[in-house]
Structure formats: C-alpha cells, structure tokens
C-alpha cells in the first residue's frame, strides 16, 4: 500500500510540470491569438495628393512629430496637433493644443468632435478625408482571431490543482488539504459561470494564469498549515471581488479621471495611517491590526498608486506635467522608507519610473528621479548606518549560514537544490520549518516540494503577464489602459524579481511577497486588483457583442462575436 502511494505521489510530481506548461501555453497562445491584427478599419486620405494614412489604433495622434501615428509633413501642422479617437459610439477628433486649430468640414472644433465617413478634417493646410478602408482598397484580408476554448484552459488548471491536492493527501496521510482544494476549484468555476452569465465575459486567459499561481500557493499552504490555506482562500475570493469591481470601475476612463484626486488622497492616507497606527512585524512597520485581522495597507496602496499614475486628463499624454504625480510618489516612497519597508519602497519607485517615462517620454525626469533616489539612499545610510547591516550578508550568505542575515537564504538554496526538477513532494520538505518560508522564501519552497520546473513556470507566468501587457499597448482602447497595464505588469515582475532573487542571494533579501503565490491575504487580494489593469488593456474585456440575430447559435471557437468591425461610423 505504502509502495503504491509512493509511486502515485511520484507520478503526480512528474505530471505537474507538464500540466502547468500546458495551461501556460494554452493561455498565452490564446491571448496572442485573441489579439486584434493591426489593420486599418478606416483611413485618412489627403485631399491634395490622395495619399492615404491607415488608422490603426483606438487613439491615433496626428502631427508633424516623428512619433505621430499619422505624420503630416506640413510646416503649418503642430508637432502634436490632434488625436483621432475610436470610442464605442464612433470616431472623434480632439485638438491637442495645436497652433492652427482643427477644422471638421470647415468648422473649427473645440474639444471632442464626432466625425463620420466622408468628413474632412483639416489640420493646418492639410485636409484629410475620413474613409472606410474597404472603400479605398487599402483593407487587407482580415485574420480570424484564434483563441482556445476557455473552459478547456480552466479544466487543465482544475486538473493541475486536483492532482496537487491528491499529492498532498497521499503525502500527508490525512485529508487536511482536501477541503481547501475543493473549495478553490468551486471558486474557479463559480467565477467562470458568473462572469459569463452576468458580465458576458468570454475570455479567462489571465484569470486562468492567476488561478494557476494562486492555487499553487493555496495547496502549498494547505500542506503545511491548514489555517493559512483558508486565509489564502478567503483572500482569493476577496481578490476576485476587487478584480471585478476594478474592471467595472475602469471601464470608463472619464470616471477614473473624476476620482483621480480622491484616489491620490486615498493612496497617501493608506500609507500615512500605517505610519501612524501601524504595528511593526519583523522589522517593518507595515501592518495594521484590526481585531483578528491584520492587513498591509501598502499592498492596496499599490493599486491606488497605479490609478493615480496612469490616469491623467491629458489626451494621449501630450503634456509633460508630472508635478502632482511626483509629489504623491515622493510622499509614498517616503512613508514606506519610514516604515522600514524598503522592498515596497523600491517597488513604488520603479513603478514611478515606468509611469513617469511612459507618460512624459522625458528621460530627464527619470535621470533626476534616480539621482534623487541615490542621494536619498546615501543620506539615509550615513544617518542610519545600521540599515546597511540588514543587507550585509548579500553576496556571501554562506558566511552567514547560521546567523541572521544569511540563515534563510542558505536554507533556501540548500533545499532548492534538494528538490531537483520534480521536488521531494508536498509536505515532505524541510524549508517549511524555516521562518517566513511560505511568503518570503516561497519560491524556494516550491523548488523543494514541487521541483524547480514548477517554480520556474510560476515565475515565467509573471514575466509573461508583463510581456503580454506590453504587446497590447497599441491595441488597447486607450493609452490610459496601456500605461496602467505596463505599470501593473512592471510592478508584478519587479516584485517577483525582488522576491526570487532576494532569497537566492542574487539581490539583497528585502522580504517582499511573490505575487499570487506567497502566503499573505492582503498581498493576494491586491495582486488580483493589479491584474485588473492588465485585463483592462485587453480590448475584448469591454467589447460589446453583436446583436444576436446574425449568428444565433454559433459556437465560441473563435470569438467572432466581438464587435471587431462593429463601429458606428
């Protein structure tokens, strides 16, 4: 009997990496396949010489500058002259502070002005006629979107989780992991069914990937401490609510702009309140304890901060004013440093750099910010030299094998190596007995118990989210979504890097969580919130569906139900 259990557990360990890989390949190829081709639906035709400019994006800048989407070499056109926007109810043109103004059919426009096929948009001395691409012959044959059936991706996630649970049950000889596992699988499918039915959502690639990571974390927790598994499960459910709320909230960028100041204040309040009433846990004063709950407001502040950074009233980020955002950023990083939460402070700083550069394109701001940060760090080290001691073991942890500073990293490396490619099995590891194994050291805990392939695949998912966020920058419905998605992805990747490389002694150990996987309720819930930004950049998220009568019972193999061409012009 014992023999059979051993073989079963081993077989499951061999199977897990393949299942995880299948989920990842399916999800990412579905994301790729579901991406819109960059082909023109409408074109702008120069009246004078009949040269046509394809209009490829949801927001297209018109101007003289080299980086304009529609570049006019006309000295009377400003560098950033106007923007041609696609919205659900048609196409609009907006003057972005041009000198000579924008005219539609000879009338000067002020603010956003709807345009239709045949309208003439005049910038400087250039007049452009809006035409359907199909009318001009410039339209290329359209590729069909190829996506994987979403239910199958989720089924593989379910199988992966189910096998993890089975392995935990075999290895532990009890059924502690069974209930959290089953509840999690129910949560997956409930979310799927509700999203489809109530919100008409058809794509679950990003959710599948996040479920893969969350599920790994939950079952890992379940095989060491059932209480943690339930906490983590609760946090995932809370995270899904936050995720859904966020997707609703950011659907209308104007709504976000309206709340812009309130969210800025909220960001600072979250951090400042922690500074005042926060409790210090393990050296960082970043916890607020309310009754039985302990939360890390800095995790939620990350979400609010991306809102603040990405939302701006400027159309297409043509204005370079970052003053308000720089103030919020400096105050946030300051609060975090005062809390001694250096890891999160660095994450905020890097997110700031990403947003600042994407909004302004201004290398000077970035260089200045980095200089300021370096000076800040040097000043802090000269005032409080003991802070450097916290990182004294970095780079030579083996000399600190039995003392604070290197103890955790040394165990992490030893047990990572002990796990091999397929791990020693859930609950069979020894890293679980080292302090903070389930959050700071979780990457190596995965290496030990699930094997380094699964651990690496989890890291690859996070990197993949970022690559996806970047791949859709020109396909999202607004630059607001593009910037939010890139900064959200950048934040997740950078945090993952601090976590993974901190514990493996490539970077100093700062004690941040591995997104979605680490134990920590606030972190888990906040990660789902951050994922919403990436999801919002996927234009299918807010797609309106064609009237049903056209293809009444078409199977959803290709998501041709999307409004692809369904733009009222």
Partner 1 sequence: MRKTRFRSFPVLMITLAFFVGLVYFMINLVIHSSEWASMPYNGHLSESDTLEMTGTITDRNGVILAKTENGERIYNEDEDIRRACLHVVGDNSVNISTAIQTLYRSELSGYNFILGLGSPDFMKTSSDIRLTIDSEVQKAAYKAMGNYKGAVIVYNYKTGEIICMVSTPTYDPENIPEDIDTNSDYEGAYINRTISASYPPGSTFKLITASAALEKDENNEHREYDCIGYTEIGGKTVNCYSVSGHVDMKDALMNSCNAYFAELTVDIGKDSMQKQAEKMGFNSSWRFDGIETVKSSYDVSKADENSLAWSGIGQYTVLESPINMAIRSSAIANGGNSVTPKLIMNIDTLFGGSLKQSDNSPSKTMMSAETADKIKDMMDYTVENYYGKSYFSNYLDVCAKTGTAEISDDGISHAWVTGFTKDEDCPLAFSVIVEKGESGYQVAIPIAGTVLDAAAESLGAA
CA distances to 20, 158, 245, 508, 541 from 250, rounded to whole Å, are: 31, 29, 9, 36, 11
CB 415 within 8 A of CB 425: no
Q: Helix %, strand %, coil % for the chain, to 5?
A: 55, 10, 35
Distance CA 296, CA 112 (A): 42
Q: Write down the least CB distance from residue 178 to partner 1, Å.
A: 23
- Choose among 207, 240, 290: nearest CA to 541: 207
Distance CA 459, CA 551 (A): 41
Choice between 35 and 201, CB closer to partner 1: 35
Q: What is the DSSP letter of 400?
A: G
Choice between 10 and 230, CB closer to partner 1: 10
Q: Write down the least CB distance from residue 59 to partner 1, Å.
A: 5
Choice between 240 and 434, CB closer to partner 1: 434
Centre a 10 Å sphere on the Cβ of residue 42 and count the other Cβ atoms it contains.
25
Scored b (16 or more CB within 10 A) or e, 380-413 reads eeeeeeeeeebeebbeebeebeeeebbbbbbbbb
Distance CA 376, CA 379 (A): 5
Q: Write down the least CB distance from residue 366 to partner 1, Å.
A: 8
Choice between 270 and 308, CB closer to partner 1: 308
Q: Which two tokens stand for residue 542?
A: 């807010």
Choice between 230 and 430, CB closer to partner 1: 430
* Parallel, antiparallel or unpaired: strands 279-281 and 126-132: unpaired
Q: Write down the least CB distance from residue 150 to partner 1, Å.
A: 25
Distance CA 464, CA 482 (A): 16
Q: What is the DSSP letter of 568?
A: -
Scored b (16 or more CB within 10 A) or e, 94-111 reads bbbebebebbbeeeebee
Q: Write down the least CB distance from residue 479 to partner 1, Å.
A: 5
| Alpha carbon 425 to chain centroid, angstroms | 30
Choice between 8 and 129, CB closer to partner 1: 8
Choice between 298 and 476, CB closer to partner 1: 476
Q: Write down the least CB distance from residue 29 to partner 1, Å.
A: 19
Q: Which residue has the tokens 């998912």?
A: 461
Choice between 287 and 481, CB closer to partner 1: 481
CB 455 within 8 A of CB 446: yes
Choice between 9 and 286, CB closer to partner 1: 9
Q: Write down the least CB distance from residue 503 to partner 1, Å.
A: 10
| Alpha carbon 485 to chain centroid, angstroms | 6
CB 483 within 8 A of CB 312: no
Q: Write down the least CB distance from residue 364 to partner 1, Å.
A: 14
Distance CA 369, CA 266 (A): 23
Helix (H, G, I), strand (E, B) or coil at 240: helix
Distance CA 556, CA 448 (A): 40
Q: Write down the least CB distance from residue 292 to partner 1, Å.
A: 33
Choice between 416 and 522, CB closer to partner 1: 416
CA distances to 20, 54, 185, 188, 215 from 160, rounded to whole Å, are: 7, 45, 10, 13, 9
User: Listing from the earlier edge strand, what are the strands of the sheet with 279-281?
Assistant: 279-281, 284-290, 293-295
Choice between 270 and 424, CB closer to partner 1: 424
Q: Write down the least CB distance from residue 357 to partner 1, Å.
A: 6
Q: Which two tokens stand for residue 529?
A: 């919130």
Q: List beta partners, residue 46.
A: 128
Q: Which stretch of DSSP H or E encloses residue 491?
A: helix 479-503
Choice between 79 and 196, CB closer to partner 1: 79
Choice between 212 and 447, CB closer to partner 1: 447
Q: Write down the least CB distance from residue 504 to partner 1, Å.
A: 5
Q: Write down the least CB distance from residue 514 to partner 1, Å.
A: 12
Q: Write down the least CB distance from residue 459 to partner 1, Å.
A: 6
């Amino acid at each position: 009997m014992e023999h059979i259990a051993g073989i079963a557990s081993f077989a499951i360990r061999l199977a897990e990496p393949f299942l995880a890989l299948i989920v990842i390949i399916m999800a990412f190829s579905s994301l790729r396949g579901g991406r819109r081709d960059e082909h023109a639906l409408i074109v702008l035709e120069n009246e004078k010489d009949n040269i046509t400019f394809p209009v490829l994006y949801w927001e297209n800048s018109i101007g003289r500058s080299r980086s304009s989407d529609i570049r006019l070499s006309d000295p009377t056109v400003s560098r950033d002259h106007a923007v041609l926007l696609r919205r659900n109810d048609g196409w609009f043109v907006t003057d972005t502070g041009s000198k000579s103004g924008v005219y539609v059919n000879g009338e000067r426009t002020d603010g956003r002005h709807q345009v239709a096929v045949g309208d003439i948009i005049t910038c400087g001395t250039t007049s452009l006629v809006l035409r359907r691409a199909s009318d001009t012959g410039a339209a290329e044959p359209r590729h069909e979107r190829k996506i994987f059936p979403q239910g199958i991706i989720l089924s593989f996630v379910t199988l992966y989780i189910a096998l993890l649970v089975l392995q935990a049950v075999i290895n532990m000889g009890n059924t502690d992991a069974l209930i959290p596992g089953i509840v999690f699988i129910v949560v997956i499918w409930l979310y799927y069914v509700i999203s489809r039915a109530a919100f008409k959502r058809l794509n679950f690639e990003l959710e599948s990937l996040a479920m893969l990571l969350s599920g790994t974390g939950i079952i890992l927790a379940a095989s060491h401490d059932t209480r943690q598994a339930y906490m983590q499960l609760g946090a995932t459910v809370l995270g899904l609510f936050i995720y859904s709320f966020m997707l609703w909230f950011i659907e209308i960028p104007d709504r976000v702009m309206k709340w812009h100041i309130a969210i800025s204040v909220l960001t600072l309040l979250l951090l400042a309140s922690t500074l005042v009433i926060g409790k210090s846990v393990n050296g960082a004063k970043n916890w607020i304890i309310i009754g039985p709950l302990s939360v890390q407001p800095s995790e939620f502040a990350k979400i609010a901060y991306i809102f603040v950074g990405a939302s701006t009233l400027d159309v297409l980020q043509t204005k370079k004013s970052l003053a308000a955002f720089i103030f919020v950023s400096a105050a946030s990083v300051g609060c975090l440093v005062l809390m001694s939460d250096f890891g999160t402070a660095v994450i905020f700083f890097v997110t700031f750099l990403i947003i600042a550069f994407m909004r302004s394109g201004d290398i000077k701001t970035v260089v200045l910010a980095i200089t300021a940060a370096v000076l800040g760090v040097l000043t802090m080290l000269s005032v409080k030299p003991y802070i450097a001691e916290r990182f004294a073991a970095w780079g030579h942890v083996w000399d600190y094998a039995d003392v604070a500073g290197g103890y955790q990293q040394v165990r992490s490396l030893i047990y990572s190596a002990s796990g091999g490619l397929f791990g020693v099995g859930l609950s069979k590891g020894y890293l679980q007995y080292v302090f903070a194994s389930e959050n700071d050291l979780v990457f190596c805990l995965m290496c030990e118990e699930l094997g380094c392939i699964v651990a690496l695949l989890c890291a690859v998912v996070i990197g993949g989210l970022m690559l996806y966020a970047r791949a859709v920058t020109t396909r999202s419905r607004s630059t607001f979504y593009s910037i939010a998605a890139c900064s959200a992805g950048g934040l997740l990747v950078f945090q993952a890097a601090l976590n993974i490389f901190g514990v493996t002694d490539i970077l100093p150990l700062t004690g941040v969580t591995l997104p979605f996987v680490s134990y920590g309720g606030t972190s888990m819930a906040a990660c789902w919130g951050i994922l919403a930004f990436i999801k919002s950049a996927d234009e299918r998220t807010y797609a309106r569906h064609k009237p049903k009568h056209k293809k009444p019972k078409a199977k959803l193999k290709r998501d041709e139900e999307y409004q692809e061409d369904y733009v009222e012009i």
